[in-house]
Structure 1
């Protein structure tokens, strides 16, 4: 793997991530890591014919999760190169199939995109968790659920690696908070990362109790049991079902 680091910041986390990642997979296209000083710069990835560009703030590049962040993004790049359904499926098509003819709140459409990003993250995590410890990820998930329940606007964003998603507070949107908690629990159960008495269970169940209209167990089951190697049709159906379940809306849905 060809990884180049530009900007003022540490190179070690990105080269360490490269070395770990190559134990499981590789990237055909070169990767440029751009470290920028702006602390508000969201971690983002751009794919072009010339390769992949990961833009990351200096603050994130020097954080304790920098290596894990890079591993996660390398995994997304790998799935992009291989045309994994989770990384090629159009969300516009999913929304049409799930919700055509229905009236749906705009915020719920935004949340549906976050659910799709969670599914993409499941597949990225499947790849990198096979080569690195998961302790920091578990700590992040626990902190995020706890912060959302405490309704702290400054809580860590659920989109921990900067994809296009928005997390709102538990007070304004208990529904997406419950789905986020289902994602956290589904991910750790998928990889057997915690014991049944871990605090994350109590936090997730509290989030579920705050949103009784959300079928918490169903969402957790979707995240935990996503097919390891789905074809396009299978993945599309799962995402359509999850979108329809979350957004609901008034009127008939398309079949």
Structure 2
């Protein structure tokens, strides 16, 4: 597995992540990591020919850098596998789920976060089999705590994060914060990472109390119960149903 690091940042976290990743997986195409000086640069991947990982220097030098790289390598593996979670067009799903409906712009923006969570579930099915888990659990806890603490007065601009791929942003609306909490619980339960008395549960219930119109348990079940090897139709149906449930309250059979 080839990993090339470019820019003003350390190569060690990415090479360490490569060594861990290679214990069970490999990538056919080389990975080019581009470390950017801009501290606001979001971590994101592209696949023009080889795999490309763009990351800020701040993130590349953080304690989470190896885990972040592992997570992105897992996304790259899912892309090479042509896994439905990584080939399904979110725009197509929005059309199927919301056609003919009147939906607030911020809720449409949040539907992209839901799609990202479903991608992350499948990426982390790889990540959490090969990498450490303690820092991820602490990260989810701290981000959710920040989001819950940011009560009324929080941003209403519809912007969401994504771990720089997975990050739960503290400026999310209460509704998407509740969905983010459901994702966090689904992830840790799917991989048996915490006990039932972990602080994540208290934080998640606090988030749910702030957004009574969002069912924490329903979204947790949606994320947690995603099958390991769905076909394209099955995955599309799951994403359409989750999108419709969040944006318009569900209640209709998903399109195929």
Q: Distance in 2 between matches of 1:91 and 1:56?
A: 23
When residues 103 and 32 of structure 1 are mapped into structure 2, their CA distance, relative to the original with a 3 A threshold, is same
Q: Distance in 2 between matches of 1:72 and 1:212?
A: 32
Could you list the structure 1 runs, at least 4 aligned residues long, displaced by more than 4 angstroms after superposition.
Answer: 165-168, 252-255
When normalised by structure 1's length, the TM-score is 0.92
Cα RMSD after superposing both structures: 2.2
Instruction: Tell me the SS of whatever aligns to 1:228.
Output: coil
Equivalence for 1:174: 174
Instruction: Tell me the SS of whatever aligns to 1:229.
Output: coil
Structure 1 unaligned blocks of 5 or more: none
Given the alignment of the two structures, is residue 15 of structure 1 paired with residue 18 of structure 2, yes or no? no
Are the aligned partners of 2:17 and 2:67 in contact in 1 as well (CA < 8 Å)?
Answer: yes
Higher RCO (C-alpha 8 Å, min separation 6): 1
Are the aligned partners of 2:143 and 2:169 in contact in 1 as well (CA < 8 Å)?
Answer: no
Q: Distance in 2 between matches of 1:209 and 1:130?
A: 33
Are the aligned partners of 1:158 and 1:180 in contact in 2 as well (CA < 8 Å)?
Answer: no
Pairwise mapping of residues 155-234 of structure 1 onto structure 2 (< 5 A)?
158-162=161-165, 167=169, 169=171, 173-234=173-234
Cα deviation for residue 161 of structure 1 reads 2.2
Equivalence for 2:137: 138
Are the aligned partners of 1:111 and 1:166 in contact in 2 as well (CA < 8 Å)?
Answer: no
Are the aligned partners of 2:64 and 2:135 in contact in 1 as well (CA < 8 Å)?
Answer: yes
Instruction: Tell me the SS of whatever aligns to 1:207.
Output: helix
Paired residues in the alignment total: 249
Q: Distance in 2 between matches of 1:101 and 1:236?
A: 19
Q: Distance in 2 between matches of 1:108 and 1:66?
A: 31
Cα deviation for residue 36 of structure 1 reads 1.7
Q: Distance in 2 between matches of 1:201 and 1:223?
A: 16
Cα deviation for residue 48 of structure 1 reads 1.1
Deviation string for 1:113-154 (max 9, x for gaps)? 100000001111110111111111101110111101111869
When residues 158 and 195 of structure 1 are mapped into structure 2, their CA distance, relative to the original with a 3 A threshold, is farther
Q: Distance in 1 between matches of 2:19 and 2:191?
A: 22
Instruction: Tell me the SS of whatever aligns to 1:175.
Output: helix
When residues 225 and 210 of structure 1 are mapped into structure 2, their CA distance, relative to the original with a 3 A threshold, is same
Instruction: Tell me the SS of whatever aligns to 1:145.
Output: helix
When residues 166 and 185 of structure 1 are mapped into structure 2, their CA distance, relative to the original with a 3 A threshold, is closer
Cα deviation for residue 204 of structure 1 reads 0.3
Are the aligned partners of 2:145 and 2:203 in contact in 1 as well (CA < 8 Å)?
Answer: yes
